[in-house]
Amino acid sequence: AGYQIGYFVGSLASGSINRTLSKALIRVAPEELEFTEIPIGALPLYSSDFDGDYPPPGRELKRAIEASDGILFVSPEYNRSIPGALKNAIDWGSRPWGTNSFARKPTGIVGASPGGIGTAVMQSSMRSVLSFLDAPQLNSPEAYVRFDPAVFGDDGKVADADTEAFLRHYMEEYAAFVARVLAANAPGHI
């Protein structure tokens, strides 16, 4: 049986390099992973005023997270942290209190930037947030991607063999991690 992976692209930009990276990751991922994007662009800004009656985009977001076996975040770093649109989506998914949709979901965090920092600081912020939300995270390998437009095609093709092998390795490890967490979450497992 395959695994359903819900993925977030943390950028709303039409020419997002992280969307391109998501295509590359999907292309090299093991065949047992099936990917569905969880869109974040239509969500209002979260407020606890919504908790009594979540609007359809909030309900749909929570449904999509809960329907996923694993979650993958592919995001830029904004001002050394998580882009507001992505943090807003995570806040929606975490509420109303007592219904945190991320609890026990296996997660992976990757990102690309044009510079050498490769979203490392954003990923560090994400780890704090996901830890608080009780979401297990793939700790190793880490994937800090410096985006070279000569290497990444818009269609997800990767022109550099070492880069492609690295991304493939990341996705293989991610798939194995999802399988381990699902086994650990299964009823009867101590």
Segment interacting with ligand FNR (CB under 6 A) among 40-48, 59-67, 71-79, 99-107: 71-79
Is 185 a binding residue for ligand FNR by CB under 6 A? The answer is: no
Dihedral, CA of residue 143, residue 174, residue 62 and residue 73, to nearest 10: 10
Distance between first and last Cα of the chain: 23
Judge whether 5 and 32 are in contact, CB under 8 Å: no
Q: Which two tokens stand for residue 39?
A: 């869109």
**123 is a contact residue toward ligand FNR (CB under 6 A):** no
Q: 84-94 vs 56-67: helix axis angle to the nearest 10? A: 80
Region binding ligand FNR by CB under 6 A among candidate stretches 101-109, 113-121, 151-159, 167-175: 113-121
CB of 79 to ligand FNR, least distance (A): 5
| Window of 12-20, 38-46, 47-55, 138-146 that interacts with ligand FNR by CB under 6 A | 12-20
CA distance 112 to 149: 11
CB of 109 to ligand FNR, least distance (A): 14
Question: Using the rule CB under 6 A, is 117 a contact of ligand FNR?
Answer: yes
Q: How far is CA 114 from CA 8, 21, 111, 140, 158, in A?
A: 19, 12, 10, 23, 16
* 80 forms part of the interface with ligand FNR (CB under 6 A): yes
Instruction: Name which of 23 and 95 has its Cβ closer to ligand FNR.
Output: 23
Least CB distance to ligand FNR at residue 138 (A): 20
φ and ψ at residue 176, rounded to 5 degrees: -65, -40
| Residue 77 touching ligand FNR (CB under 6 A) | yes
Contact residues: ligand FNR, CB under 6 A? 11, 13, 16-18, 76-80, 113-115, 117
